[in-house]
C-alpha cells in the first residue's frame, strides 16, 4: 500500500481531521521562504540586519521605511494561487472530513482555495490596520502608499501579521488548541516544527492518527503513524482522489 493509499484509508474513517501547516504548504504556489533577505536594505542602513530583525516589531518602529520596503518585497505575493494541496484540504472540509486548517502562513491561500475554518497563527498579509485608531485596510493600501502608509488620522497602517517580538492572538491560539484537542486525525505538513510557540500546539493532540508530510525530519516523526517525504500538494491530491 502506498503512502497516499494509507492516508486515504485513514481519512475515509475520519470525521474530525485537522491540518496544521507551515511554509512548505505554500512553496508549491511559488512563495519562497522569506529568510532570503536582499542586501539592498542593509547597504542603505550601513549595517547588517538578519531577516528576523527586519521582520521584527522593533525594526517596524525604528526603521519604518525600510521595514515596509522589505515587507512589500519579501512577504506579499498576490500573484500566487492555491496549489493542489490547498484545494484538496478545501475538498476534505466540504466532505465533512476536515474540520479546521491551522496555518503558520500569512498568504491567505487556504481561504482562496475555499477553506472556511482557517486559524491563521501569524496573521495575514490581506489585512492591515491603523496602529492609532484601529481602522481596517486591505493589502492594496500598503502596496500603494509608499514609502510609509498612513491612515487619515495620521497613524501608521500596519500589516495584520505577527512580527518577531509580538505575541500570537489569544483567540486564534485558543481555537487552534480546541480544534487539535477534538481531532481524531492530525495532519502536519510543510513545517519543520521549530518555530515556537506555534509548533508546540501539536502537543495537544490526543487523537488516533498523527500524520507527518514534510521533506525533512521533524521532532514529531517518531510519534507519527505515517511519515511521508513527498510534496504536500501531490500527496493530499492523491489521497483525495482515492477517496472518490
213 in Cβ contact with 230 (< 8 Å):
yes
Which residues are within 8 A (CB) of 28 and not within 5 positions of it... i.e. 6 or more apart? 83, 84, 85, 231, 232, 233
Please indicate whether residue 122 is annotated as part of the active site.
Answer: yes
The residue among 168, 163, 181, 187 whose CA lies nearest residue 239 is: 187
Which one of the listed residues 63, 110, 122, 209 is annotated catalytic?
Answer: 122
Using DSSP, state whether 209 is helix, strand or coil.
Answer: strand
Give how far Cα 186 sits from Cα of 65, 120, 182, 224, Å: 41, 17, 10, 10
The residue among 220, 244, 215 whose CA lies nearest residue 232 is: 215
Grid cell digits, residue 86: 490547498
Before 147, cis peptide (omega within 30)? yes
**3-class SS string, 112-127:** HHCCCCEEECCEEEEE
Residues annotated catalytic, as ranges = 122
Amino acid at each position: 500500500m502506498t503512502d497516499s493509499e494509507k492516508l486515504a484509508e485513514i481519512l475515509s474513517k475520519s470525521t474530525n481531521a485537522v491540518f496544521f501547516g507551515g511554509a512548505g504548504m505554500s512553496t508549491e504556489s511559488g512563495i519562497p521562504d522569506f529568510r532570503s533577505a536582499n542586501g539592498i536594505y542593509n547597504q542603505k542602513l550601513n549595517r547588517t540586519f538578519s531577516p528576523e530583525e527586519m521582520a521584527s516589531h522593533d525594526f517596524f518602529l525604528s526603521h519604518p521605511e525600510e521595514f515596509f520596503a522589505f515587507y512589500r518585497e519579501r512577504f506579499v505575493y498576490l500573484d500566487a494561487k492555491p496549489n493542489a494541496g490547498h484545494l484538496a484540504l478545501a475538498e476534505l472540509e466540504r466532505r465533512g472530513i476536515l474540520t479546521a486548517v491551522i496555518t503558520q502562513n500569512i498568504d491567505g491561500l487556504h481561504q482562496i482555495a475555499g477553506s472556511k475554518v482557517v486559524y491563521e497563527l501569524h496573521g495575514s498579509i490581506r489585512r492591515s490596520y491603523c496602529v492609532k485608531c484601529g481602522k481596517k485596510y486591505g493589502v492594496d493600501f500598503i502596496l500603494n502608499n509608499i514609502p510609509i502608509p498612513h491612515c487619515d488620522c495620521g497613524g501608521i497602517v500596519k500589516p495584520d501579521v505577527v512580527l518577531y517580538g509580538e505575541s500570537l492572538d489569544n483567540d486564534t491560539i485558543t481555537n487552534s488548541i480546541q480544534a487539535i484537542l477534538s481531532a481524531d486525525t492530525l495532519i502536519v505538513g510543510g513545517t519543520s516544527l521549530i518555530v515556537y510557540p506555534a509548533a508546540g500546539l501539536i502537543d495537544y493532540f490526543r487523537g488516533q492518527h498523527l500524520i507527518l508530510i514534510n521533506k525533512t525530519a521533524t521532532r514529531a516523526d517518531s510519534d507519527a503513524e505515517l511519515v511521508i517525504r513527498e510534496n504536500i500538494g501531490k500527496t493530499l491530491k492523491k489521497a483525495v482522489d482515492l477517496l472518490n
